[in-house]
Chains A and B, each alone.
Chain A
Amino acid sequence: MKYIPDALRRLWHRMGSPRWFYETTGPWVPWLAAAAALLIGVGTVWGLAYAPPDYLQGDSFRIIYIHVPAAYLAQAGYILMAICGVVLLVWRMKLADMVMATVAPIGAAFTFLALATGSIWGKPTWGTYWIWDARITSVLILLFLYLGIMGLRRAIERPEAAGRACAILAIVGVINIPIIKYSVDWWMTLHQPATFSVTSAPAMPAIMWVPLLLNVLGFNLLFAVSVIQGTRTEVLIRERRTRWVTDLCRGEQA
Chain B
Amino acid sequence: MHPKRKQRLLVIGVLVCGVGLTTALVLNALNENINLFYPPDQIVAGMAPIDQRIRAGGVVVEGSVFRETGSMTVSFLISDLAGSEVPVTFEGILPNLFGEGQGIVANGRLGADGVFVASEVLAKHDENYMPAELAAMAGRKPPMGNEVDSGSNSYSAGG
Contacts and interface: CB of A to CB of B under 8 A. Distances in A.
Interface of A: 1, 52-57, 61, 64, 86, 89-91, 124-128, 131-134, 168, 171-172, 174-175, 179, 186-190, 192-195, 203-205, 207-208
A190 B133 CA distance: 27
Contacts, number: 117
B129 A54 contact: yes
A86 B132 contact: no
Interface stretch (B62-70, B109-117, B119-127): B119-127
Main secondary structure of the interface of B (DSSP, over half): mixed
B23 interface: yes
A190 B16 CA distance: 30
A95 to B, nearest CB: 16
Interface string B52-75: 000001000000000000000000
B34 A134 contact: yes
Contacts of B155: none
Interface residues of B, number: 43
Nearest to A85: B12
A56 B8 contact: no
B36 A189 contact: yes
Given A53-B131, A90-B8, A171 B36 contact: no
Contacts of B120: 127-128
Interface of B: 1, 5, 8-9, 12, 15-16, 19-20, 23, 27, 31, 34-37, 39, 57, 94-97, 105, 120-136, 140, 142-143
B128 A204 contact: yes
Contacts of A131: 36, 122
A172 B19 CA distance: 7
B127 A203 contact: yes
B121 to A, nearest CB: 7
